[in-house]
Amino acid sequence: MVAAIPHDNSLGDALVQHSRRASIRRLTLDVAGGLLTVALAAAWRPSGWIVLVSAALCFAAFGAWALADRVLDPPGRVSSSAIAALLLILRTVAIAVGMAAMLILVFGSLEIAMGTFIH
């Protein structure tokens, strides 16, 4: 599946192409599984739970963004402007949450790795 993505594409282009190839069922599973993992990790709080939560939020945000993008893709597909506005807000919030979760995942992973060298 990765070989089908041209090498000169950006990460954003690759995510858009992946989201368009994914089924609705898969995207829904990303959202549900991500949110369930967030809830379980936040309740259980194992060692390094922030990294686990941020990884799960990456999946949930990707799924939510992709589902909203699917509905909004052909302009005018949504009959109600209020629903279209809510989907635009959902898509924007999902991007922000996904970017924040990705940064926390990267820096949290580095913190865990560096902690083993420093201590």
- Average model confidence (pLDDT) across the chain: 89
Which stretch, 2-11, 17-26, 109-118, has highest mean pLDDT?
17-26
> pLDDT tens digit string along 53-104?
999 999 999 999 999 999 888 776 777 888 889 999 999 999 999 999 999 9
pTM for the full model?
0.84
d(CA 49, CA 46): 5
> What are the Cα distances from residue 70, in Å, to 20, 57, 92?
8, 20, 14
Mean pLDDT over 14-42 rounds to 94
pLDDT, residue 48, reads: 87
- Sorted by sequence, the CB contacts under 8 Å of residue 56 that are 6+ apart come out as 33, 34, 35, 37, 38, 41
pLDDT, residue 77, reads: 73
